[in-house]
Structure 1
Amino acid sequence: MKYVVGARGSQLSVAQTNWVISELTKIHPDSEFELNKITTKGDTDSRPLFTIDQKGIFEKEVDRAVATGDVDFAVHSLKDVPSQLDDGLVIACIPKREKVNDVFISLDNSALTTIKSGAIIGTSSLRRAVQISRIRSDVTVKPIRGNVETRIRKISDSDYDAIVLAQAGLSRLGIDVQYTPLSTDEFSPSPGQGAIAIVAREDDSKTISMLRGIEDADSRLEIEAERALSDFVDSGCRFPLGAYAKSSDSQMTLTVSAFSVDGKKSIQVSKTGKKENPESLGKNVGLELQSKGVNDLALNWREKVEEWNRT
């Protein structure tokens, strides 16, 4: 059986898609997998991510190819996948999740807490930017785009003193670079960070059954809790929200952090619930966030982003 696999053409996307193909080949040695690289809006639009008023900028074109049957399934970084997929599509498989934390990479191997005052730190994420500023108000946060290796090279080229990115990307690319891990307790990750989403057509039961062979049950439940929370409060590139679900035995704990535009105010909520009810846990955390004023934070962020776009 031959399957055509859709993915972005970025180095990270190709690396994690090849990993998925390798894992599937182990349990389906008689199947053949062909990679079809697809260009997305996120690949052609070089503006900072928060200025692009569209969800799914790194997956929409790829998932359209799944829906039309041009490819059989698609591989994505899960944090790039909107909480609501197009009709007829499902996240058919979530393999075992990589580490979820961000890392700090600097020119002189400094940590975020020790880097020089006035340092220029690159990130494309509002969530990362506001957390950097909360920890170090004396540094300058500057937008950065490009492949992981491109961003790292910009440190060597002296454009930036440091960058912040996901540890999972370094692991999947096999990049050997010195970094300082950022604790999820102090630096909350994006919902879905470190996970891969494999999207297929809802009515393609044969492909879904094949993909489920590399599903990781705990990763699926943790992601469902985080996505339920994200959907409930409508977070995204224009509203920095950190969320991390961790399961153990029959329980799961979901910890969420939201921040004001100036970084001076934050809301943290952590709740534990039954592992088999991840969506309920996500909704309950969302309700508590709302009771603590998260909707006001979200509105202020969106107004600020609109103001930035006008100037």
Structure 2
Amino acid sequence: MTFLVGTRGSKLSLAQTNWVISELQKQNPGSEFEIKTITTKGDTDTRALFTIDQKGIFEKEIDKAVAEKQIDFAVHSLKDVPSDISKSLTIACVPKRESANDVLITKDGFNLKTIPLNAVVGTSSLRRAVQVSRIRPDVVVKPVRGNIETRINKVIDGKFDAIILAEAGISRLGLDVKHSVLSTKDFPPSPGQGALAIVCRADDDKTISMLKKIEDKKSRIEIEAERALSDYVESGCRFPVGALAIANSGMLKLTVTAYSVDGKKSITIEKTGDIDKPRNLGQDVGEELQKIGIAEIASNWRESLDEWNKK
């Protein structure tokens, strides 16, 4: 049987998809897979990501193709998949998660503490921009778009002194590039960072059964907690929240941090819950954030971004 697999045409997306196919072939010898690349709004809109007030800019067109039976399933970076995907679809599989850390890439091997005064650091993430400013307020943070290799080349060419990327992307592309790993304490990641989401039709039992063979239970538990938190506070590219769940020894711990516009104020909550009820833990942390001021922080971010977009 041949399965049609949808993904974006970037090198990273294709690398992720080929890895998924390789894992599926190990579990389903004899099955064949054909990749269909699909262009998304995120591929054609060159604006800084935080200025695009729309969810699912890297997955909407691909998941539409799944729903319309043009392809059998889609492979996404999980953090790109919004919570409100069509009810006709399901995240059928979460394979083993890669590192959730961010990394700093510089031409001369500096780390964030030793990088020169007033260095220019590139990132497409509001979360990372605020996190950098908290540690190095002198640094100039500028938006950067393009695939991973394009961003790295901007450092090599001297257009940026450094860039910040997800470690998982470098790993999946097999890039041999000098970098310093940023701690999740100072740089709590975007919910779902480092994980993949494989989406198919909710009524496609045969495909779901096949995909479940490469599901990683620990990874699924962790991202369920993170996504439940994200759903509750409505975080995303336009409102930076860092969240990381860790399942270990029968327990599940979720650490969440939200930041003010200027980075001077932050709210951090760490809570442990039932490993069998990860979404409950995410919702509980979301409720605590609401009680201690997340609404005010969110409002300030919206006002700031609205003013920025008017310029």
What aligned pairs does 1:49-60 form with structure 2 within 5 A after superposition? 49-60=49-60
Aligned to 1:167: 167
Q: Give the match for residue 133 of structure 1.
A: 133
* Matching of residue 221 in structure 1 with residue 221 in structure 2: yes
Aligned residue for 1:284? 284
Could you tell me how far apart the structure 1 residues matched to 2:306 and 2:205 are?
43
Shift of 1:153: 0.4
**Counterpart in the other structure of 1:36:** 36
| Superposition map of 1:58-73 within 5 A | 58-73=58-73
Unpaired runs of at least 5, structure 1 = none
Alignment partners' CA distance in 1, 2:199 and 2:308: 34
Please name the residue that 1:187 is paired with: 187
- How far did 1:249 drift? 2.1
SS of the residue 2:242 aligns to = strand
For residue 285 of structure 2, what is the amino acid of its counterpart? V
In the TM superposition, what are the counterparts of 1:75-224 in structure 2 within 5 Å?
Answer: 75-224=75-224
CA drift of 1:3 comes to 0.2
Instruction: Tell me how far 1:26 sits from its aligned partner.
Output: 0.6
- Distance in 2, Cα, partners of 1:91 & 1:249: 26
CA distance in 2, matches of 1:32, 1:218: 28
Cα deviation, residue 192, structure 1: 0.1
Give the CA deviation at 1:282: 0.2
Q: SS of the residue aligned with 1:55? A: coil
Q: How far is 1:137 from its partner?
A: 0.2
Aligned-pair distance for 1:5? 0.1
Structure 1 residue 29 displacement after superposition: 1.4
Give the deviation of 1:299 after TM superposition: 1.2
Q: Which amino acid aligns with 1:64?
A: K
Match of 1:270, SS state, is strand
Distance 2:306 2:68 in 1: 34
**When the two structures are superposed, what TM-score results if normalisation uses the length of structure 2?**
0.99
Q: Determine helix, strand or coil for the equivalent of 2:286.
A: helix
| Equivalent residue number for residue 247 of structure 1 | 247
Deviation at 1:229, TM superposition (A): 0.2
Task: Give, in whole Å, the separation in 2 of the partners of 1:84 and 1:77.
Answer: 16
Write the distance in 2 (CA, Å) between the matches of 1:113 and 1:91. Answer: 39
1:3-38: CA deviations, max 9, x gaps? 000000111000000000000001111100000000
Amino acid at match of 1:221: I
In the other structure, the counterpart of 1:6 is 6
- Aligned identity (percent) is 64
**Secondary structure in 1 matching 2:200:** strand
- Secondary structure of 2:183 counterpart: coil
Runs of 4+ in 1 over 4 A off after TM superposition: none
In structure 2, C-alpha distance between the alignment counterparts of 1:83 and 1:242, rounded to whole Å: 16
**1:269-310 Cα distance to aligned partner (Å, 9 max, x none):** 000011000010001100111111011111111111111110
Q: Partner of 1:100: helix, strand, or coil?
A: coil
Secondary structure at the residue paired with 1:104?
A: strand
Q: Which whole-Å CA distance do the structure 2 matches of 1:113 and 1:176 have between them?
A: 23
